[in-house]
Structure 1
Amino acid sequence: MATGSPRPGPRGEAGLIAVDALGPGGPYHSRTRLTITDLGGTAVAELSLVPSLYVHRAIGALRAAEPLPAAERLAALARAGEMFATEPVGGLAVDDYERAVCRISGMPISVVRHATRTTRRALVDAGRDARQALPTGSVADWHDPATVGGRAVWTRRGEVFGVHAAGNHPGVHALWPQALALGYRVAVRPSRREPLTPFRLVSALRAAGFADDQVVLLPTDHTVADEIIKAADLSLVYGGDDVVRKYGDDPTVLVQGPGRSKILLAGEDWHHHLDTLVDSIGDEGGTACVNATAVLTDTDPTGLADVLAERLGAIPSLPPEDDRAVLPCQPSDQAARLERYLLDHAAGTTPHLGGDGITDPVPGGGAALRPAVFEVDRPDATQTGIELGFPCVWVAPWSPADGTGPLRDSLVLTALTHDEALVDRLVDDPTIRNVYVGDHPTYWMRSDTPHDGYLGEFLMRTKTVLRG
């Protein structure tokens, strides 16, 4: 194990929030620690980092442990959901936790609060949501009377599930608890960008009834991160194109990469759908993979870009802790780098909003990331594949002769069209993972429908059990 000692309490040196590793022996405060700062550079928390040996011993303990009985783990998940959303956890009240996440991540406080509610519901309903992937004709337990005479039984593909968590949105932690519902033991590597949410969630799960050898929090540096993936049976990894390239061909890793969600207007007057367009681009500060990053239209793309720029440009720049805040913020140096990246890659396009920059300093430190609208001259322009963590949209022309090629590789495609033959092709395209036909925003979700496939499709398999 790492040099250090278990230690209770939410505060470390200088009053910082202590985000300790949560291993099979309880909280662990290592000597190697990373200071987490807010938007203005003020230290807020201290993250303990664990070495490779600690990781392997922790995952070994998970593998040796037996899962809780199904009814007990579902009840513990529900209790954890209520605790996460309503009670002090790890010494932090809900409001203190949400404000700390807001100041560290730059996410608007309203988005953080919504994620708290979403995570609560996800834990309460984790068993039901996980079972949505149960194949018709199979049962969830070999004790089911249906196995007399032979029946397919849904079983785990492994025992230990590793998670490389993202830090762009606290809501990403609403998914992996389904693995606990299915009997996996789970190892979470928190993002160093925002580790408070997984720390709070794992702490709540333990307080609600999951033993320390059922779910662990393993903060590491980048050199150790891959050890979690190698040691686990199956893993969930979030990231950009570099992560997709690294893990995309590994059958034991489920990659959650860029969304590149789009909207197509084919034979539809965009004037009638402006609210849906604007909301799809700007909901939750434009930080999610389901936000629209490209809009393709067969009618007047220039006019559409002008109107989108007018609507999005009216959003005020506010510090993220302001209840009225809509836009995400970042530390000023990070915001400046993102601005340079955008303007470099927008070369050759027509700016309608953001052509002079997208950063706007806010009180308390950091800069708001203001919306950007750029027009490209062809539907397959490379810019339409650029996804950034704020409201940024590329408006492109499209015609039926362009086909579905420019629409591929989309997590969500909202198709505003009455052309059923076109919809047939979109639904059949394996690179378009969700198709919303009609006036539906790209961020629409419901817990019983898959977002990027059901997690259970990845975690589980069927085997035949015959008894009698």
Structure 2
Amino acid sequence: MADADRKRWGAVRPGLPAFAPAKRRELILSALELFHSGSVTVGGLGRQNADDFRVSLWETAGLPAPLVDRWSTTLRASLIQREIPVSDEALALVSLPGNTFTCLDSVLDQAERSAGVWVRPSRREPLSAARLVAALLAVGWPPDRLGFYPAGHRTLHGLVRRTDRQIVYGGAGLAASVRDSASLTLHGPGRGCALVPPGMAVGEAVDWLLPLIAADSGRFCSNVRTVVCADEPEPLASALAAALDAIHPDPGNRDWPLTVFREPDSAQQAAGSVSGRMRAGDRLLTRRPPIVREAGGGTYALPQLVLLGSDAIRSGLHPLIGHEVPFPFSTVLRARGEVAAAIADESLFVYRGAPHRTGIEDSHDG
């Protein structure tokens, strides 16, 4: 199918009417309004309103409504904050992850700058991508300029070969298999870390760090996975663990909503990847069981925090440093100088705290 579609693209592309950048932005803004609050006809699913969309994401992917609303708003905010790009003649591919649909921003970016864009949704959460494509078509986006390919990793390689530019989200295994394309941009793990300076008060540090760890159910590549303390780390680690333990697994929780795992054993595997990487001297400071059942049959992986032992990094970086899981999780350790710098160098997102000032020191796409 991809091969036939690429040949067809070559045949129809010269005859497509001009598509002005301002018109593209206008249509995308209208599509995002439909995506967030309207009714669209989604191929294979039929007519779907906003409530249907939220229910379907909760039932299939475990995404609570507060996260769906937040991420929909984020998509629009990201779009209006950037300048309209100069368009070219490329056929682009965007292969999406299952952790968050905010990565649909890459679809919108490529729709604005490319002659055509093909979308490969996540197999774990294809519904948001399908709804966005349906919304674009509903507002008048030229159908010849869109493709939608729900398929596995084997098909991804064929899509990569048949497109001119590729944006691919995935982990290390996927990265190794698609690096043969010079036109490919890979968005992988962010390994976010926060550097707590000497003298920072525990309460201030917790207020700064909790959103970095727990926002968006810990699913963003920019979430903090490692907290590096210049001072003795245990007081901060204990207070931060208590704050994480206070996050209630409730689909209506608007402050720190948690996602539910729908696939059998997936929550256990995600939570177990933390305990399986702990070494002698490490301590799990969060006190609740790591797994709790949800009334609808799904499973929550509750937030976890591990205080690493004093010799955690004597022989290379600890396997939990930068470890990414689809729930709020972080390690805390004490490190300074070259060791702290080495941890930061392994991170795409580095947050540096200081009294009365916090922010990202280094930020790259993750």
Q: TM-score, normalised by structure 2?
A: 0.87
Q: Which residue of 2 aligns with 1:99?
A: 55
Residue 309 of structure 1 corresponds to: 241
State the AA in 2 paired with 1:117.
Answer: T
Q: Which residue of 2 aligns with 1:87?
A: 38
For 1:381 and 1:62, locate their aligned partners in 2 and report how far apart those are by CA, in whole Å: 48
Structure 1 residues 226 and 248, CA, compared in 2 at 3 Å: closer, same or farther? Answer: closer
Report SS of the residue matched to 2:222: coil
AA of the residue aligned to 1:386? H
Answering whether residue 175 of structure 2 is matched by residue 244 of structure 1, we say yes
Give 1:441 deviation, angstroms: 7.2
SS in 2 for 1:168: coil
In the TM superposition, residue 264 of structure 1 has moved relative to its aligned partner by: 0.4
What does residue range 88-237 of structure 1 map to in structure 2 within 5 Å? 88-90=39-41, 91-122=47-78, 125=80, 128-131=82-85, 140=86, 156=88, 159-237=90-168
- Hey, what does 1:264 align to over in structure 2? 195
Aligned to 2:5: 58
Match of 1:288 among 213, 216, 220: 220
Quote the residue 1:74 is aligned against. Answer: 25
Q: Does 1:372 align with 2:309?
A: no
CA distance in 2, matches of 1:55, 1:181: 22
How many residues matched?
350
- Contact 1:107–1:329 at 8 Å: present in 2 too? yes
Q: In the TM superposition, what is the alpha-carbon distance from 1:196 to its structure 2 partner?
A: 0.8
Structure 2 CA distance for partners of 1:417 and 1:400, relative to 1, 3 Å: farther
CA shift, 1:130, in A, is 4.5
Q: CA deviation at 1:403?
A: 5.1
Structure 1 residue 409: Cα displacement: 2.3
Structure 2 letter corresponding to 1:111: L
- 1:62–1:358 CA distance, 2 compared to 1 (3 A): farther
Q: Distance between the aligned counterparts of 2:240 and 2:35, measured in 1? A: 38
Distance 1:183 1:234, change over 3 A: closer
Superposed CA offset, 1:79-134 (max 9, x none): 212222221011111121022112221223211111122223445x38x4354xxx
Deviations 1:163-196 (A, max 9, x none): 1111111111022211121233000011111111
Greater shift, 331-340 or 348-357, is seen at: 348-357
AA aligned to 1:440 is G
**CA deviation string 1:56-98 (max 9, x = no partner):** 2223334442352333322222221222222101111112102
Q: Which moved more, 1:160-169 or 1:65-74?
A: 65-74
State the AA in 1 paired with 2:165: L
Aligned-residue offset at 1:248: 4.2
- Residues 357-389 of structure 1: per-residue CA shift (max 9 Å, x gap): 511111111111101111113453232021111
Counterparts of 1:317 and 1:395, CA distance in 2: 23
Residue 186 of structure 1 aligns to a residue in which SS? Answer: strand
Distance 1:349 1:289, change over 3 A: farther
CA distance in 2, matches of 1:62, 1:324: 46
CA–CA distance in structure 1, aligned partners of residues 120 and 182 of structure 2:
20
Following the alignment from structure 2 to structure 1, what is the Cα–Cα distance between the partners of residues 354 and 128?
40
The one-character-per-residue Cα deviations of 1:272-313 (angstroms, maximum 9, x if unpaired) are: 221111111100111111110000001111222111111101
Cα drift, residue 356 of structure 1: 7.7
Give how far 1:256 is off. Answer: 0.5
Structure-2 change in CA distance of 1:87 and 1:208 (3 Å): same
Q: Which moved more, 1:186-195 or 1:324-333?
A: 324-333
Aligned-CA RMSD value: 2.6
Unaligned runs of 5+ in 1: 1-53, 132-139, 141-154, 419-436, 445-449, 454-468
For residues 303-333 of structure 1, give each alpha carbon's deviation from its aligned partner in whole angstroms, at most 9, with x where no partner exists. Answer: 2211111110111123x36667622211341
Distance in 2 of aligned mates of 1:345 and 1:240: 18
Q: Give yes or no for contact 2:274–2:320 (8 Å, CA) kept in 1.
A: no
In the alignment, is residue 277 of structure 1 matched against residue 209 of structure 2?
yes
Give the letter for the 2:227 counterpart: V
Change (3 A) 1:403 1:70: closer
Contact 2:192 2:322 in 1 (8 A): no
Of all paired residues, the percent bearing the same amino acid is 24
CA distance in structure 1 between the partners assigned to 2:339 and 2:59 by the alignment: 44
> TM-score, normalising length from structure 1?
0.69
**SS in structure 2 at match of 1:404:** helix
Tell me, in whole angstroms, the C-alpha distance in 2 between the residues paired with 1:233 and 1:183: 10
Whether 1:411 aligns to 2:318 is no
